[in-house]
C-alpha cells in the first residue's frame, strides 16, 4: 500500500477538471495581420503598466490601444484575483472564484494584448477605508509585490486607475492608489527591498506617472483616443476591449462592441522627464533603439540603424495578398539583431540583452507568419497524473511557397520526466475527430526520430513522442495555493520564478528551429511554445487547453461546510465523491482524519475505479465529542492506493 497522501485542494481540482483559458488564441491570425502587429512592437522601446485592485478595474480600451495600436509592451497589475465578488456562472466562491477570474483576465489579455500580474492579496470583500483594508493586508508586503512586478516588467510609464483617496470608494481601491504612488518612488531605490536585488532584479525608475480620471474627468490633462478603427484588425480598440471584457463572465460583464469615438482621460501626476501635462503619453521618454545601441559603441549604432531601416522597408512591403514580399527585409532585421546580440554578450547591461532577445523572438514570429510556416505542439491528454505516459505530436507545416529544413523539434520537460520517440509498433491512441472526422481523415507519415527533415512548399512533417510523468511526482496546484493562506494573504513558494504571475509556467515546451532561404541567404528561425491539448466539442468544434497535472484520484466533499451546535453531539453523515483521473485505473481506500476527540465510522472505505471518469461515493458518520468547544475544525480526507487486481 502506498503512503497516504492528503487529497488535493478543491480549488486545484477545479483547475485540473476545468482548465482555464489559455492566452494567445482570440487574436491568433497568422500571416500579414500578425506580422503587421508585430512590426508595431519591434522598433521602439515602450512599456506601460496599469495598476488597480481587482479584475474588472482595468481600462481595457487603453490597454488595447497601447498594446495593439501603439505596439507598446503593456501590463495590468491587479492586487487581487477577485475572490470576494459574485459568481454569475457557477457556485465557486473564494479561492475557486479567484481561479476562474484569473482565467477570465488571461482570456481578456489574449485579446487586448497586455500581460497580467498579481500581488499575493486575497480579496476579503468590501471595505470602506484604506485603513480597514490595511488591517487585512500588511502594507509593506503588498508594496513589495508591486515593486517586484515593476522591477521585473520595467515600465517607463505607470497608469494608476485610482487616486488613493476616499473618492475611490472601495477601501481596496484606495489601497491600490496609495501603493501605486509609493511604488513610483520605491522601485528605483536600491535600499528598498534589497532582497529583490539579491534575487536578480535591478532597481527600476519609471519616468511618468498618470492617473485615470474616471470619477473626476474635469481634472484630466490628457485624452487618449481609444475608438480609432485599426486597419489590420477591422475593429476599434474599444471594440477589441469590449470583446475581451465580455470574457469576465463570472461578473455579468457581457458587453456590446459599439463603433464610434471613445477616449480615456488621464492626469499627469508626476514626471521625471521634461513634459507638460497635455503632452502625449510617451513624450519625454526615449523610446528609440539609440538607448540600446549606445553602450555598444559605433558598431552598435550602425547595426541599430540598419535594423530600423530593415523594419521600415518591411512595413512598406507588407502585403496581405503577397505576404512573402516582406520576408527579405525581415530576415535582414534579424541578422542585425544577431550582430547586436553578439556585441552585447559581454559589453552591455542585462536590460539591453533582454530587449534584443525580445526583438529576435518577435522577428522570428513574423518571419514564420509571413513564410506560411506553422508549428503545432499537441498532447493527446489534457490531465496528466503520476506514472502516466502520453503521446505528444509535433507538426510543422510549410503552407505556402517556402521550402524549409529542420531537425526534429525538441521537447523540454521538468526534471525526472522522460521524453523519447514514440515506440515503433505501439498503437497510438484514437484521435478525436468529431462526428464527420472520418470523411476528412488522411494518413500521416511519421518522420523518423533524430533525422533532419526537408519540408517542401505545401507539405507537412509529423513527429511523435512518448512523455512519461514520474510515478512519484507529487501533483501541485497553482503556486499561490500550494500553502494554506496566512489570513488574507497567499503564501508564495520560496522560489521566486512564479511570483506575481497568473500561474506557473506550463510543464512541457517544444522548441523548433527552422532553416529557410530568404533572398538567397539562409536564416534560422526559432519557435518556442507550450505543448497543449486539442479536443473537439461536438457543438463548438476544435478547442485547445493547457496541460494540467493532477492527482490520480480527486476527492470532493458533498458539503464544504457543516455547522454543529456546542450542545449537539449527535453523529452526522459526511459524503465524498472520488473520481478517477488515471487511464490505468486506481484502487485503494479513503479514510477521514478528524480532530482529537472526534469519532468517525467506518475507519476506512475501499474503492476500485477502473476507467477515467469513474466515480464512487463514500459516506462516513462523524461524531463530535460530548463537550465540544466553539471553533473551526477540519475533516481531512486521506487516500491510500494499492495495485489494482484484474481478472480475465
Q: What is the pLDDT of residue 1?
A: 30
Q: Are residues 302 and 382 in the same domain?
A: no
Q: What is the pLDDT of residue 570?
A: 86
Domain range for residue 172? 47-281
Q: Are residues 539 and 558 in the same domain?
A: no
Residue 188 located in a structural domain: yes
pLDDT at 478 exceeding the cut of 80: yes
Mean pLDDT value across residues 115-142: 96
pLDDT at 643 exceeding the cut of 80: no
Residue 291, by phi and psi: left (phi above 0), alpha (psi -120 to 50) or beta? alpha
Q: Are residues 388 and 314 in the same domain?
A: no
- Cα–Cα separations (whole angstroms), residue 519 to 127, 314, 404: 63, 13, 14
Q: Are residues 275 and 407 in the same domain?
A: no
pLDDT at 525 exceeding the cut of 70: yes
How wide is the angle at C-alpha 27 spanned by C-alphas 157 and 316, nearest 5°?
75
d(CA 90, CA 97): 9
Q: Are residues 75 and 177 in the same domain?
A: yes
Residue 28 located in a structural domain: no
**3 state SS of 228:** coil
d(CA 159, CA 52): 9
**Ordered alpha helix ranges (H), 19-160:** 32-41, 60-64, 95-112, 130-134, 139-153
Residue 23 located in a structural domain: no
Mean pLDDT value across residues 363-373: 95
Q: What is the pLDDT of residue 648?
A: 52
Looking only at the bridges linking them, the beta strands covering 383-384 and 548-549 are parallel
Residue 587 located in a structural domain: yes
Residue 89 located in a structural domain: yes
Q: What is the pLDDT of residue 367?
A: 96
Residue 37 located in a structural domain: no
- Domain of residue 90, CATH code: 3.40.50.10320
Q: Choose among 251, 214, 312: nearest CA to 107.
A: 251
Residues facing 223 on adjacent strands: 265
Q: Are residues 88 and 235 in the same domain?
A: yes
Q: How confident is the model at residue 434 (pLDDT cuts 50, 70, 90)?
A: low
Domain's final residue, options 250, 281, 312: 281
Q: Choose among 623, 614, 621: nearest CA to 577.
A: 614
Mean pLDDT value across residues 162-171: 94
Residue 124 located in a structural domain: yes
Q: Are 220 and 213 in contact (CB under 8 A)?
A: yes
d(CA 620, CA 623): 10
Residue 64 located in a structural domain: yes
Q: Are residues 258 and 275 in the same domain?
A: yes
d(CA 617, CA 609): 11
d(CA 96, CA 477): 12
Domain's final residue, options 356, 371, 386: 371
pLDDT at 14 exceeding the cut of 60: no
The span from the first CA to the last CA of the chain, in angstroms, equals 23
Q: Are residues 277 and 308 in the same domain?
A: no
Q: Are 120 and 489 in contact (CB under 8 A)?
A: yes
Q: Are residues 73 and 127 in the same domain?
A: yes
- Domain of residue 590, CATH code: 2.60.40.10
Domain's final residue, options 371, 391, 407: 371
- Cα–Cα separations (whole angstroms), residue 381 to 20, 218, 429, 472, 636: 15, 55, 10, 19, 30
Domain count, the chain: 4
- DSSP letters spanning 344-364: HHHHS-HHHHHHHHHHHHHHH
326: cell is 516582406
What share of the chain has pLDDT > 90, as a percent?
71
Q: Are residues 128 and 241 in the same domain?
A: yes
Q: How confident is the model at residue 228 (pLDDT cuts 50, 70, 90)?
A: very high
Q: Are residues 366 and 384 in the same domain?
A: no
Between 647 and 188, name the one with better pLDDT. 188
- Cell 506557473 belongs to 504
Q: How confident is the model at residue 647 (pLDDT cuts 50, 70, 90)?
A: low
How wide is the angle at C-alpha 180 spanned by C-alphas 179 and 186, nearest 5°?
80
Q: Are 15 and 548 in contact (CB under 8 A)?
A: yes
76: cell is 495590468
Q: Are residues 264 and 349 in the same domain?
A: no
Q: What is the pLDDT of residue 4?
A: 31
For residue 607, the number of C-alpha atoms closer than 13 Å in the C-beta half-sphere is 29
Long-range CB contacts for residues 624-632, cutoff 8 Å, separation at least 24: 624/564, 624/568, 624/569, 624/597, 624/598, 625/569, 625/597, 625/598, 626/569, 628/564, 628/566, 628/569, 628/597, 629/566, 630/566
Q: Are 257 and 26 in contact (CB under 8 A)?
A: no
Mean pLDDT value across residues 259-265: 95
Mean pLDDT value across residues 446-470: 94
For the whole model, what pTM was predicted?
Answer: 0.90
- Cell 483547475 belongs to 15
pLDDT at 533 exceeding the cut of 80: yes
Q: What is the pLDDT of residues 280-339, one digit of tens each?
A: 899 999 888 877 788 888 999 999 999 999 999 999 999 888 889 999 999 999 999 999
pLDDT at 50 exceeding the cut of 80: yes
Q: How confident is the model at residue 438 (pLDDT cuts 50, 70, 90)?
A: low
170: cell is 472601495
Amino acid at each position: 500500500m502506498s503512503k497516504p497522501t492528503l487529497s488535493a485542494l478543491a480549488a486545484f481540482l477545479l483547475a485540473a477538471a476545468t482548465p482555464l483559458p489559455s492566452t494567445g488564441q482570440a487574436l491568433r491570425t497568422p500571416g500579414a495581420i500578425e506580422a503587421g502587429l508585430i512590426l508595431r512592437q519591434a522598433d521602439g522601446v515602450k512599456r506601460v503598466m496599469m495598476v488597480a485592485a481587482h479584475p474588472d478595474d482595468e481600462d481595457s480600451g487603453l490597454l488595447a490601444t497601447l498594446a495593439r495600436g501603439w505596439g507598446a509592451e503593456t501590463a495590468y497589475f491587479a492586487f487581487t484575483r477577485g475572490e470576494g465578488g459574485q459568481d454569475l456562472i457557477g457556485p465557486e466562491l473564494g479561492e475557486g472564484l479567484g481561479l476562474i477570474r484569473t482565467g477570465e483576465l488571461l482570456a481578456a489579455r489574449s485579446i487586448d494584448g497586455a500581460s497580467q500580474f498579481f500581488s499575493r492579496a486575497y480579496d476579503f470583500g468590501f471595505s470602506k477605508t484604506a485603513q480597514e483594508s490595511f488591517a487585512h493586508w500588511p502594507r509593506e508586503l503588498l508594496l513589495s509585490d508591486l515593486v517586484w512586478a515593476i522591477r521585473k516588467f520595467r515600465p517607463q510609464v505607470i497608469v494608476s486607475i485610482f487616486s488613493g483617496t476616499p473618492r475611490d470608494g472601495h477601501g481596496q481601491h484606495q489601497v491600490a492608489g496609495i501603493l501605486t504612488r509609493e511604488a513610483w518612488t520605491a522601485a528605483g531605490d536600491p535600499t528598498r527591498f534589497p532582497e529583490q536585488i539579491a534575487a536578480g532584479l535591478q532597481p527600476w525608475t519609471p519616468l511618468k506617472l498618470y492617473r485615470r480620471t474616471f470619477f473626476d474627468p474635469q481634472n484630466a490633462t490628457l485624452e487618449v483616443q481609444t475608438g480609432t478603427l485599426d486597419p489590420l484588425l477591422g475593429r476599434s480598440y474599444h471594440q477589441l476591449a469590449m470583446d475581451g471584457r465580455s470574457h469576465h463572465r463570472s461578473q455579468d460583464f457581457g458587453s456590446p462592441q459599439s463603433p464610434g469615438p471613445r477616449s480615456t482621460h488621464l492626469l499627469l501626476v508626476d514626471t521625471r522627464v521634461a513634459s507638460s501635462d497635455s503632452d502625449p503619453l510617451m513624450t519625454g521618454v526615449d523610446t528609440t533603439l539609440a538607448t540600446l545601441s549606445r553602450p555598444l559603441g559605433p558598431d552598435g549604432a550602425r547595426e541599430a540603424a540598419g535594423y530600423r531601416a530593415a523594419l521600415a522597408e518591411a512595413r512598406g512591403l507588407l502585403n496581405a495578398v503577397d505576404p512573402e514580399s516582406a520576408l527579405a527585409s525581415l530576415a535582414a532585421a534579424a541578422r542585425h539583431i544577431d550582430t547586436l546580440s553578439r556585441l552585447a554578450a559581454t559589453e552591455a547591461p542585462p536590460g539591453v540583452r533582454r530587449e534584443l532577445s525580445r526583438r529576435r523572438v518577435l522577428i522570428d514570429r513574423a518571419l514564420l507568419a509571413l513564410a506560411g510556416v506553422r508549428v503545432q505542439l499537441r498532447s493527446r491528454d489534457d490531465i496528466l497524473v503520476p506514472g502516466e505516459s502520453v503521446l505528444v505530436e509535433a507538426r510543422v507545416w510549410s503552407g505556402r511557397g517556402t521550402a524549409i529544413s529542420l531537425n526534429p523539434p525538441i521537447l523540454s520537460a521538468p526534471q525526472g520526466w522522460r521524453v523519447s520517440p514514440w515506440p515503433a509498433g505501439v498503437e497510438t491512441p484514437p484521435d478525436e475527430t468529431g462526428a464527420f472526422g472520418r470523411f476528412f481523415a488522411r494518413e500521416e507519415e511519421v518522420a523518423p526520430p533524430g533525422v533532419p527533415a526537408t519540408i517542401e512548399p505545401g507539405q507537412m512533417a509529423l513527429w511523435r513522442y512518448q512523455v512519461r510523468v514520474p510515478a512519484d511526482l507529487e501533483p501541485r496546484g497553482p503556486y499561490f495555493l500550494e500553502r494554506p493562506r496566512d489570513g488574507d494573504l497567499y503564501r508564495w513558494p520560496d522560489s521566486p520564478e512564479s511570483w506575481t504571475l497568473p500561474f506557473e509556467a506550463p510543464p512541457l515546451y517544444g522548441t523548433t528551429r527552422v532553416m529557410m532561404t530568404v533572398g538567397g541567404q539562409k536564416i534560422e528561425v526559432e519557435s518556442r511554445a507550450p505543448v497543449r491539448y486539442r479536443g473537439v466539442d461536438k457543438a463548438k468544434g476544435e478547442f485547445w487547453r493547457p496541460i494540467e497535472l493532477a492527482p490520480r484520484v480527486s476527492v470532493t466533499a458533498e458539503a464544504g461546510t457543516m455547522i454543529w451546535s456546542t450542545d449537539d453531539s449527535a453523529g452526522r453523515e459526511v459524503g465524498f465523491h472520488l473520481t478517477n483521473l488515471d487511464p490505468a485505473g486506481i484502487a485503494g481506500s479513503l479514510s477521514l482524519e478528524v480532530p482529537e476527540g472526534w469519532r468517525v465510522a467506518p475507519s476506512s472505505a475501499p474503492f476500485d475505479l477502473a476507467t477515467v471518469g469513474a466515480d464512487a461515493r463514500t459516506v462516513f458518520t462523524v461524531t463530535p465529542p460530548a463537550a465540544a468547544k466553539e471553533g473551526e475544525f477540519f475533516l481531512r480526507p486521506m487516500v491510500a492506493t494499492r495495485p489494482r487486481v484484474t481478472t480475465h
